[in-house]
Amino acid sequence: MSKYSALFEDEDDVFLGSPTSKLMDIIFNANNDVVRYDLENFMKRRAAMELFLEEKFGEDYGKEIDMFIVENRDSVETKTKSLSIELMGEIVSKSE
């Protein structure tokens, strides 16, 4: 295993990189207006989720999230990849 393997999830992948790294490539190269729109939409959803969690768990919901991440690492990684791919699709489809 190379010292760079932590950077890439699929070392043997022809395109090298994880869905998150590919998302970053798209963000930096896609139409700026499209990226801004989708990132603003993402942030609104994130804000709504945080307000919802704060309402349900109080201001210490961050500790609950941290514990959830540790206890459900594989599921969180899978969902992170899925969200990255979803956001890539949104940006690419609007940039064509």
pLDDT classification of 2: cutoffs 50, 70, 90: very low
Residue 64 lies in a domain: yes
Whole-number average pLDDT of the chain: 85
Please report whether residue 72 resides in a domain. Answer: yes
3-class SS letters over the chain: CCCCCCCCCCCCCCCCCCHHHHHHHHHHHCCHHHHHHHHHHHHHHHHHHHHHHHHHHCCCHHHHHHHHHHHCHHHHHHHHHHHHHHHHHHHHHHHC
Q: What is the CATH number of the domain that holds 69?
A: 1.10.3350.10
Q: Is residue 12 part of a domain?
A: no
Provide the domain count of the chain: 1
pLDDT digits (tens, 9 = 90+) for 25-47: 999 999 999 999 999 999 999 99
pTM above 0.85, yes or no: no
In a domain, 26, yes or no: yes
